[in-house]
Structure 1
Amino acid sequence: MKNSLKHILITLFLLCHAGVLAFSGTIDFMPIVSNYSQSSYDGGLQNWSVTQSASGQLFFGNQKGVLSFDGYRWNCHTLPSHSIARSVLADGDRIYVGAYTDFGFFERNHLGQYEYTSLWPNDYKAHNDEIWEIVKAPNGHIYFQSFCSWFDYDGRKVVSHYDQNRLPLHFFKVNNRIYVQMVNDGLFLLQGSRYIPLLPRTAYGNDDIVGLLSAGQDKLLAVTSKNGIYIYKGGKISRWTTDIDQDLQNYQVNKTTLLAPATLVLGTILNGIYAIDLKTGRRLWHYNMANSLKNNTVLGLLTDRNNNVWAALDNGISIIHSGFPVTVMRTDRQRLPIGMVYGLCEDGSNLYIATNQSLWHYMGDRKEIRQVRNSNGQNWYVTSYDRQIFAGHNLSTLSVTGDAATPIPATTEGSTTLKRYHANGQEVLLEAGYSGFRVYRKQDQVWKPTGHIEGFQAPIVEFETDNGGSIWAAHFSKGIYKLDLSPDLTKVVRQKYYGALSKGGIPSLIHVMKIRGRIVFSYQGQLYTYDDLHDRIVPYKSLGPSFPRNIISIATVDNERLWTADANAYALFRHDGKHYRRVVSIPYKMFGLEVNSNGISQYVSGRNTYFFLNNGIGRYQMGNKSGKTAKFPLTIAQVSSMRSYNQTENISCESSEKPKIHADNIRIVLSYPNYDNQLITFSYKLKGRGKEVSSRQDNPVVSLNSLSYGNYDFEVVALSVDGEVLGKATYQFERVVPLYLSIWAFLLYAVLCFLMIRQYINWRTRKIIRRNQRQAQEEMMRQNLKMLEQKQIIAAQQKIIMENELTTKSKELASMAFKVAVQKNNSDILREELLEKKRRGLLTDRDFKDLITKSDAEDSEELWDIFQQNFDLIHQNFFRKLRSRYPTLTPTDLKFCALLRLNLNTKEIAKHTNLTIRGVEGARYRLRKKLGIDNKLSLTDFLIDLK
């Protein structure tokens, strides 16, 4: 089993690393570089200048305007003309900006937004002016310089200066003086509005001075574009030789700045940035695109108040963290990929580096790194005991001398860690590996392996020993063992396995370490320790609230200080007598390289702490920070509130304006410069409505929700990683009661409520009245229905009566008709008798006519009265209707109308009326005129249809 595991591991390693070759190269520890691309700051590619305000915020003259940055947020502020911002200068609360035929300043308004004010003089005749430099004169005036003119702004008005014989190329402010490099001319001093010549151009190689800096003791450093560096003192100039003079001639210097305490930084057009030691002229470091810099063309340089260097580049922005006490030695940029670092050992000024590819020897005096011979493959560690250097190789343990490694005899298995071990009065070296432990004893002042420890063969990745001599050994992938050795250290006499440290946990990798003499385990984001009184492993919470729970490894500095490595950062902790308190935090993202997070990933030697990276090493030098970290004011950058329908309402950042919010939430954006990715905590309190809410967070954006109505006081402090107060800010605001909840609104609601109640009562009353009316109407309808039914009964009865009367009348009419016929027959007989008497002469003609007429008249009147009564009854008051509508009708006319309604023809009418047919026609004509009937209409039809 042991041999199979060994052969598998060896085979896998050889397959993975068969291509590793020996390299050599020149390399050094240099400050970390962070780059910001166009996508980071959302501006243009080119950045022309950089300045820092009193609040610590940085501003860049960018292709699209002015960029602002506080380490957390980028903002782009465009000019009204959308011109390129060539130059910027921060002075007080203003950011002065220079562009093509325009210059002015940005200033924050009460909403935290930057507003631009142009100072360009309208009466000035432009000479294709573009403002390339902005300086603050000793008298407090602001000078804006183009290649043709310069403009003097005293805070109220602008005075332009143009001299066609003196065209300024660069303005320099040094020691409260303004120096001017002229176009195709020498160096001048600006006094008032006059140019005072100082040096002819030939004095410094017929070149342009692009940087003029103070070198102390009335000396100036004059940096030319292509002819090197000069020292100007007492009116005389001399060349200053450095070891990069040839590079300066080849790559064209463009911008300069100074670093404390004595470093000159030069930005070139063609090859990035150089740093020179002002005392020796030696190159300290050089950055270009081959070793981390974003771009080789430097258009602007600035040393910020934390001694970092900012570079405005032709493509992007870079910061060189020269003020941060961490440097990095990168090998990937030198085409020397050493691999992932697993161990390191300091040997004087030299370093031995164990990686997954080989063992490397770094010689600090020569800045050179070499591959150690015979060390290809995985190396888990490199360490030194009594000047004897050991390396834990994948195949064996190596003894290292100079640039060569030799396998130690009897070590034919991989070695993962090697530590001193004291037990039973013995001091040995205890080595863990793929198949258990091996013991080293000192023989003839040399450590030599003396044999395996019997009774245990598991692969071990790391181990620690407690005060009782027990060994706590972490398995390569799961669980931990507690081992007790025999007095002669040759075998394991007791062992106990812990697969998981929490209830229900899954066996997995457990990191073991020793903190102030106590064994501590890190398992699945929690810390545990061994309780020797009860012989059990328990959670460990005594290290302090800021101590990480998911640590991977530690490195002890001394009894009070230690470094930790967790999933996100390295941190230095100091014990204050009760707990550990964090004093330094270095996020992994600072390095720009992957960090070894599989096991031990830091190494402490004296004042140096080294961090294990992929193709590189980080180094922290305690007490070597150049100056104390600058403090800046903590400011309220922006305040807003989210109203309904996702509408953002910007609110005044100034408490003096008594800002008011209407929604139940507020978003406060804080600003504190943090360019080194430090762990700054924002601790705030919110007081109001008799309550107090407090919290801490790393994010500078504070969101407060569910706010009640009333006044609030917001207090916030920025705390450093060690709890130091960096800045404070306060903000007062009020969540106003909306109009619909005001006193007047409630009065209105009361009135409306009263009116509504009153309206309801009226409505209810009307409803009851309507209901009663409806019920009365229904009752009336029921009564009417009953009356109608009764009327219908009465009508039916009357109809029966009328039908009976009609029957009677019809009988009377029939009887009358019979009587008429009888009378007519009698009349005819009488007429015949009278005619007979007349023929016999018994009657005269006169008497005959009188008797006939009288007989007819008596019969006609009696018959007409009876006829009229019955006809009128049968034909629904026919004669009444005619008399009422046509009052001019005579009784004869009425008789004619009745005969026509009976639809009698002319002969029949003539017979009944004793008229001739012509007489009947005449009567019809007269009747038509009285009734007003047209000739086209039938008189008979009219009378039949009359109703």
Structure 2
Amino acid sequence: MRSQLHRLIICLLIFSQGFSQELPPFENFDSTVYSAGNQNWAISQDENGNLYFANEQGLLRFNGAQWELYPMPNGSIARSVYCHDGRIYTGCYMDIGYWENNNSGSLVYTSLKPKIESLLQEDEQFWKILSIDEFILFQSLSGIYSFNLETENIELITRESNIWKLFKVEDNFYYQVLGEGLFQISNKKGALVSDSELLKSKSVVHIFNKSDKIYLLFKDGQLGILNNQEILDSVQIIPNKEFQVYSATYIETLDMIALGTIQNGLILKDLEGDHNIQINKKNGLDNNTLLSVFYAKDGNLWLGLDNGISYIDLDSSVTQFVDQEGVLGTVYASIVYDDQLYLGTNQGLFVRTQGDDAYFSLVPDISGQVWSLSVIGNTLYCHHDAGMFAISKGKVANVFNQTGVWESWVDHDSKTVYIGCYDGVYRSTDLSMTAFEKLEGFNISAKDFVVMDNQIFVSHEYKGLYQMDFDQHLNTVDNISLIDDVRIDKTSDLKRFGDVLFLTNRDGIFRYDAKSKQFSKDEKLSQEFLSGGFESGKMNVTSDDALWFFSQKELLKVTRGNIDDNLNVSSFNIDSRARDDMSGYENVSLLEQDKYLIGTTFGYITLDTKYQNTTEPSIKINQVKKFYNNGVENLDVSQAGILPHDQNNIYIEYSSDSYNPLRPVLYQYRLNQETWSKWDSKPQVTFNKLNHGDYEFEVRSMVDSQISSEPAIYTFEILRPFYLSYTAQIIYVLLLIATGYAIHLTYKWYYRRQKDREAKRHQKELEVLSLQNENELIQMRNEKLRSENEFRSKELAVATMGTIRKNELLNEVQSIAQKLPDSPPARELRKMVKKNLTSKKDWISFEEAFNNADKDFFKKIKAKHPSLTPGDLRLCVYLRLNLSSKEIAPLLHISPRSVEIKRYRLRKKMELDKETNLSDYIISM
């Protein structure tokens, strides 16, 4: 791994000399990202891969996903940081101490000031911390202190007036006193090593060992070897002495030294001062002043800037060229031709000669939009918005200027060149392309076109996929048809790869079958292509006969097998955000064997496909929190968590110590052996309203398709609510028994009551039946009484009618008798008639019959009208029988007129108003 890395960096350096400015990928973190101060004075790393920065606002920790700031207890600037054996030691103004992780994953500070307070001088700040065996050394500008880890005692090793820096070389400690020379700590005391004029006059920035030689790097960039008391073989590795070095580190695996300058960013040099990589504000670094440089365990660099933090990925298959000045624009095409790198962009065609450190220069007469580049014969052709240009031996010629040209295709068998243009397809039957003829009959844009088997296929992003025939000897096309069995849109592309025609769209990758004249989906390629997330259907065929696809998460390279035509697929994890390419115009070209250039909107990226990172990514759980209505509480990540039932919301943070911006970390988790979640870049997850029970949370990470072999695990339990606890269950059982017994008694009581109710109901039924019988008897009696009453009423009516008829007859007889001559028989007759008309027997009989029929009438009417006379009562009885005045008159032996008068007088006695009918009133009583 390290030898691969060494070769990679050497290749990178050689290439950077040739093409200049290709840099390893790096990422800037400004203060708004990590939420702390601008300045970062020192960097260290613990055994778990966490990084620590001595920041102006305190101790800053980065676990690969989250940043955390821990202010110094006295509010001062953290000047130094050093990780050792699970502790993070820091030095600041008038205080030293160490931080340790508590059970919840947070840091807790322990100050050593009480042990050192009597030794401190005024205004001391601690700038360096180192360790050896059981001792931790703290260096200020005026003293060096030793902290014994076993006894926890602190001793003053030396007190000097102007200590510059403390260095560790293997098991030896050196420090420089400005104006005096270089000293070594021996037997807990400082001993002078060299007082040469160079060491008195110049500040030493770094000391390291190589091949048993001690190298000293000075602030002005001079590098020398310490031999006895002299500095030998001195080399000025930074020619420009204005570039003052403030921090540095030697990278043994690369045999290089990383220089952090004050004015010009980072410089990577070999010890001879030759090949270099320079990263500064001009090519993307946030700040040119580097306060600290740290080589991490993963083989990459961290820079503490005067304003921010930066990460340099030295262990990468990728380099990048960043067009900071915006001269180039977006790269649409690239090619190496005559040992020169050409870039076709939206601003023109640019070139840079190998071995030339200068910036790219614009090819004369070719400015504006370049679409593609190709070499035909020994000539480079540029397909441009203004036509087609030929570049050969430094000369430029416009060989086609009728319309814009997208791309070209060469049929080597017929020596014919086809070019897809804004208004159709043109061809030249001569590879020298002295003349072009248009294929008549097709006049729309041919941005994506393929020629095969005397047919032309054109994919138009809005109109669809055209298929047409053409004659090799005629300049016309015919049989133009639209193929509608595949979808075409602005994300589609059409490419010929060998003898196979491929088409892409959002649904996948399709092959054309010449026999059926239809496209069919290639399931294997489509699965590979779509699994990375669809970004664009753009395809590229590079000069080494490889077909390239671009997805959201990766690049796919497809090659044919050496023996058969089976396709082999390789993937490279460079996602679309890192590529920042122009969607629909993605492009890749071969630079040299196994090395490719990918065009971007900011310049380009180079990819070495031979180099594959095989390091297994790490995964760790950093913090677990439970949260509820009243707040948030950290949990101990080292042991199983126990959560009350009403605090069943949990938040888990995790991370990997992979920091490469072009190799993003993805995470996947599951709970209780359920299905793994989808891969996601988020380094945290929240579970809400979990049910009670035991839980096991697992999380793993993936980088470059490498998955961590063992997941990080956190177990926790959510307690049952009291109503589901075992105590509650015992109570429930007792209650159940008591309830059962109560139910038994209740049922017993119920059935007893039911029996009583049934007996009562039966008794009531008997009573009801008896009442019903009695009612029936009463009804029968009533019916009998009604019948008798009706019979008597009928008798009364008959008697009354008989009386009426008798009286009428007697009246007639009387009127006849009155007419007879007076004689004893006549007088006897008159006397007999008068006697019968005035006889009271009839009325007595009638009254008796009436009382039998309507017993209460006389009582009611006499009670209501006590002033009524018997004659009035007799009239009332006739009226109750609903007799008319005419019918009543014979009964009373008076005229109907006299009956009306009697009726009138009766109304007055009864005091009835005019609206009340007398007969109705009497009948209703």
TM-score by length of 1: 0.69
Identity of aligned residues (%): 23
Cα distance in 2 for partners of 1:88, 1:575 equals 54
Change (3 A) 1:181 1:653: same
Shift in Å, 1:362: 1.1
**2:602 counterpart of 1:610:** no
8 Å Cα contact 1:29-1:327 kept in structure 2:
yes
Please say if 1:136 is aligned against 2:121: no
**Which residue identity lines up with residue 585 of structure 1 in the other structure?**
N
* Match of residue 191 from structure 1: 186
Cα displacement (A) at 1:48: 1.0
Answer yes or no: is 1:438 the counterpart of 2:426.
yes
Superimposed CA distance per residue, residues 664-695 of structure 1 (whole angstroms, 9 cap, x where no aligned partner): 5543322211211324333444336xx66665
More displaced 10-residue stretch of structure 1: 678-687 or 259-268 = 678-687
In 2, Cα distance between equivalents of 1:140 and 1:383: 66
Matched, 1:391 2:382: yes
User: Mapping of 1:341-380 within 5 angstroms?
Assistant: 341-368=331-358, 369-380=360-371
Q: Quick check: 1:326–1:619 contact (8 Å CA) kept in 2?
A: yes
Instruction: Give CA deviations for 1:379-418 in whole Å, capped at 9, x if unaligned.
Output: 111221232100012121100135542101x542211112
In the alignment, the residues of structure 2 paired with residue 393 and residue 243 of structure 1 have an alpha-carbon distance, to the nearest angstrom, of: 45
The Cα offsets for residues 499-535 of structure 1, whole Å up to 9 and x where unpaired, read as: 7834xxx854522245686433333464444355543
1:564 maps onto 2:549 in alignment: yes
Native 8 Å contact 2:43 2:54 kept in 1: yes
Aligned to 2:234, which of 233, 237, 240?
A: 240
In 1, Cα distance between the equivalents of 2:68 and 2:496?
A: 47
Query: Pick from 657, 675, 693: which aligns with 1:710?
Result: 693
Q: Deviations over 1:313-355 (max 9, x none)?
A: 111111223322222223334xx61121111111253111111
1:482 aligns with 2:467: yes
**1:661–1:487 Cα change, 3 Å:** farther
Deviation at 1:651, TM superposition (A): 2.6
d(CA) in 2 for partners of 1:583 and 1:508? 24
Does 1:153 pair with 2:114? Answer: no
8 Å CA contact 1:500–1:507 kept in 2: the answer is no
Partner of 2:655: 671
Q: Structure 1 CA distance, aligned partners of 2:186 and 2:543?
A: 59
Deviations 1:774-803 (A, max 9, x none): xxxxxxxxxxxxxxxxxxxxxxxxxxxxxx
Mean Cα displacement is larger for which, 221-230 or 722-731? 722-731
**How big is the shift at 1:455?**
2.4
The residue type paired with residue 322 of structure 2 is: R
Residues in 2 aligned to 1:560 and 1:704: alpha-carbon distance in whole angstroms? 50
Aligned to 2:923: none
Structure 2 residue aligned with 1:472: 457
Contact 2:181 2:200 in 1 (8 A): no
Q: Which amino acid aligns with 2:352?
A: Y
Q: 1:305 & 1:560 partners in 2: Cα distance?
A: 38
Given candidates 520, 527, 534, the residue that maps to 2:502 is: 520
- Return the alpha-carbon distance in structure 2 between the equivalents of residues 558 and 382 of structure 1: 12
Q: Is the 8 A contact 1:229 1:241 kept in 2?
A: yes
Match of 2:292 among 293, 300, 310: 300
User: Kindly tell me: are residues 165 and 300 of structure 1, through their superposed partners in 2, closer, same or farther at Cα, counting changes over 3 Å?
Assistant: closer
Q: Give the secondary structure class of the aligned counterpart of 1:29.
A: coil
> Residues 264 and 590 from structure 1, CA distance in 2 versus in 1: closer, same or farther, beyond 3 angstroms?
farther
Aligned equivalent of 1:93, options 86, 90, 104: 86
1:337 paired with 2:320, answer no
* Equivalent residue number for residue 917 of structure 2: none
Query: 274, 277, 289: which one pairs with 1:285?
Result: 277
Cα contact 1:262–1:278 (8 A) shared by 2: yes
**1:565 to 1:159, Cα distance in 2 relative to 1, 3 A:** same
Q: CA shift at 1:575, angstroms? A: 9.1
**CA distance in structure 2 between the aligned counterparts of 1:365 and 1:426, rounded to whole angstroms:** 39
Per-residue Cα deviation, 1:742-787 (whole angstroms, up to 9, x for no partner): 121123345567889999999999xxx9xx9xxxxxxxxxxxxxxx
What's the offset of the Cα at 1:233?
Answer: 4.1
Distance in 1 of aligned mates of 2:313 and 2:303:
11
- Whether 1:38 aligns to 2:31 is yes
Task: Classify 1:556/1:413 alpha carbon distance in 2 versus 1 (closer, same or farther; 3 Å).
Answer: closer
C-alpha distance in 1, partners of 2:370/2:484? 27
Match for residue 307 of structure 2? 315
2:206 maps to: 211
Out of 205, 215, 218, the residue aligned to residue 221 of structure 1 is 215
CA distance in 2, matches of 1:178, 1:574: 56
Residue 246 of structure 2: aligned partner: 254
Deviations 1:840-874 (A, max 9, x none): xxxxxxxxxxxxxxxxxxxxxxxxxxxxxxxxxxx
* SS in structure 2 at match of 1:110: coil
Contact 1:441 1:448 in 2 (8 A): no
Q: CA distance change for structure 1 residues 554 and 693 in 2, over 3 Å: closer, same or farther?
A: closer
Equivalent residue number for residue 84 of structure 1: 77
**1-side partners of 2:515 and 2:47: how far apart?**
59
Match of 1:429 in 2: 417
Pair 182,450 (structure 1): closer, same or farther in 2 beyond 3 Å: same
1:405 pairs with one of 388, 396, 403: 396
Secondary structure at the aligned position of 1:372 is classed as: strand
SS in structure 2 at match of 1:731: strand
* 1:722 counterpart = 2:696: no
Comparing 155-164 with 32-41, which one deviates more in the overlay? 155-164
Task: Decide whether the 8 Å contact of 2:652 with 2:684 is kept in 1.
Answer: yes
User: Once the 2 structures are TM-superposed, how far is the Cα of residue 721 of structure 1 from its aligned partner?
Assistant: 2.4
Q: How many residues align?
A: 721
How many angstroms does 1:258 deviate by? 2.8
Checking the alignment, whether the CA contact within 8 Å between 1:392 and 1:415 is kept in structure 2 is: yes
Distance 2:362 2:558 in 1: 35
Secondary structure at the aligned position of 2:198 is classed as: helix
Return closer, same or farther for 1:761/1:77 CA change in 2, 3 Å cut-off. farther
Structure 1 residues 585-600: aligned runs within 5 Å? 585-590=573-578, 594-600=580-586
**Structure 2 vs 1, CA of residues 439 and 693 (structure 1 numbering), >3 Å: closer, same or farther?**
closer
* Map of 1:20 onto structure 2: none
**Distance in 1 of aligned mates of 2:45 and 2:90:** 13
Which residue identity does 1:229 align to in structure 2?
L
SS at match of 2:366: coil
Q: Show the counterpart of 2:443.
A: 457
CA offset digits 1:225-267 (Å, max 9, x no partner): 2362223345541353346322xx2132100023441322111
Q: Which 5+ residue runs of structure 2 have no aligned equivalent?
A: 1-17, 758-925
Does 2:523 correspond to 1:541? yes
Distance 1:402 1:197, change over 3 A: farther
Which residue of 647, 651, 656 corresponds with 2:635? 651
Q: State how far apart, in whole Å, the 2-side matches of 1:478 and 1:59 are.
A: 58
Residue equivalent to 2:49 = 56
SS state of the match for residue 49, structure 2? coil
Q: Which runs of 5+ in 1 are unaligned?
A: 1-24, 773-947
- What amino acid sits opposite 1:375 in the alignment? I
Contact 1:544 1:581 in 2 (8 A): no
State the secondary structure of the residue aligned to 1:547: helix
Given candidates 30, 40, 56, the residue that maps to 1:47 is: 40
Per-residue CA distance 1:713-742 (angstroms, 9 max, x = gap): 334332332345365323333333232211
* Structure 1 residues 244 and 397, CA gap change in structure 2 (3 angstroms): same
Deviation at 1:41? 0.3
Given the superposition, is the C-alpha separation of residues 470 and 76 from structure 1 closer, same or farther in structure 2, using an over 3 Å criterion?
Answer: farther
